[in-house]
Amino acid sequence: MSETKLREQICMYGRSLFERGLTPGSSGNISVRLPDGGWLVTPTNASMGFLDPAQISKLDGEGRLLSGAKPTKEIPLHSALYETVAEAQAVVHLHSTHSVAISMLPEINPAAALPPLTPYYLMRAGLTALVPYHRPGDLAVAEAIKGLAGKYSSVLLANHGPVVCGRDLEGAVFATEELEETAKLYLLLRGLNPRVLSPQQVDDLVATFGLTLPEIHDHDHEHH
């Protein structure tokens, strides 16, 4: 896909996410890798609903600004996934309400922030890791993501929001949306003892769709 088309895609998906209330104000950011190893990334203090293709920040492979506006300060979140998840070609970071909400709940398992409520959650987002709170812009949060060793393509930052990568921008956006919808389902069902997918049903999805899910000890996903 051409750079021009990628710039248009970033603006299109940014507007879509913003208009549906998935990332308020000037929060959230999107990046896409370029064939030469550089990136396109949304600018700092820019509303995702009103992005200008010409002002999208273009960085080289070392993260140096080549053209466009000053990039988001959340660059380390994106680079941590690009460095550790081999297939990552795009990253989406939102402040989506329900995903932020579950990141604050005491029962959340850091190795599997959400139970397997639906097949599409596993197929699009996989399992989601929860990393501890760090101040926005603190390099420690990027180190925490790197510490996951590329096993997760979706990560929740405690009290902050999700960071999700994909093989392309569409995939990263769809995975982020699936994570948010699953967080909403979890909050609706919390305390109601819902039926989640069984280990056998999860294994069937893994075998049928070639999923790669990290090993976790709390395999039955019980919550107390």
Confidence band, pLDDT 50/70/90 cuts, at residue 217: low
Residue 211 has pLDDT above 50, yes or no: yes
CATH of domain 3-209: 3.40.225.10
| Average pLDDT of the residues of the chain | 94
C-beta separation of 146 from 79 below 8 A: no
With beta carbons less than 8 A apart as the criterion, state whether 43 and 55 touch: yes
Q: What's the CA dihedral at 129, 134, 139, 140 to 10 degrees?
A: -60
Give Cα 67 to chain centroid, integer Å.
25
Res 224: pLDDT: 34
Is pLDDT of 192 > 60? Answer: yes
Q: Does the pLDDT at position 222 exceed 70?
A: no
At residue 49, the pLDDT reads 97
Domain boundaries, the chain: 3-209
Q: How many residues does the chain have?
A: 224
What pLDDT does residue 221 have? 41
What is the residue whose two structure tokens read 């088309």?
5
Average pLDDT over residues 181-195: 97
Dihedral angle sign, alpha carbons of residues 53, 22, 82, 89 = negative
Q: What is the CA radius of gyration of the chain?
A: 17
Backbone phi, then psi, for 155, in 5-degree steps? -135, 140
Find, among 224, 204, 212, 201, the residue nearest to 167 by Cα.
Answer: 212
3-state secondary structure of 207: helix
Give tens-digit pLDDT for 2-30: 999 999 999 999 999 999 999 999 999 99
- The predicted pLDDT at position 220 comes to 40
CA 55, 61, 66, 70 dihedral sign is positive
Average pLDDT value for residue range 168-195:
97
Which of the following is catalytic: 82, 120, 133, 152? 120
pLDDT tens digits along 118-154: 999 999 999 999 999 999 889 999 999 999 999 999 9
pLDDT of residue 103 exceeding 70: yes
Q: For 103-119, what is the mean pLDDT?
A: 97
8 Å CB contact between 81 and 91: yes
Q: In this prediction, what percent of the chain has a pLDDT beyond 70?
A: 96
Q: Is the pLDDT of residue 161 over 90?
A: yes
Buried b (16+ CB within 10 A) or exposed e, 165-192: bbebbebbbbbbbbbbbbbbbbeeeeee
Contact 59, 38 (CB under 8 A): yes
pLDDT at 223: 39
CA dihedral 129, 39, 94, 52 (to 10 degrees): -170
Task: Establish whether 120 is a catalytic residue.
Answer: yes
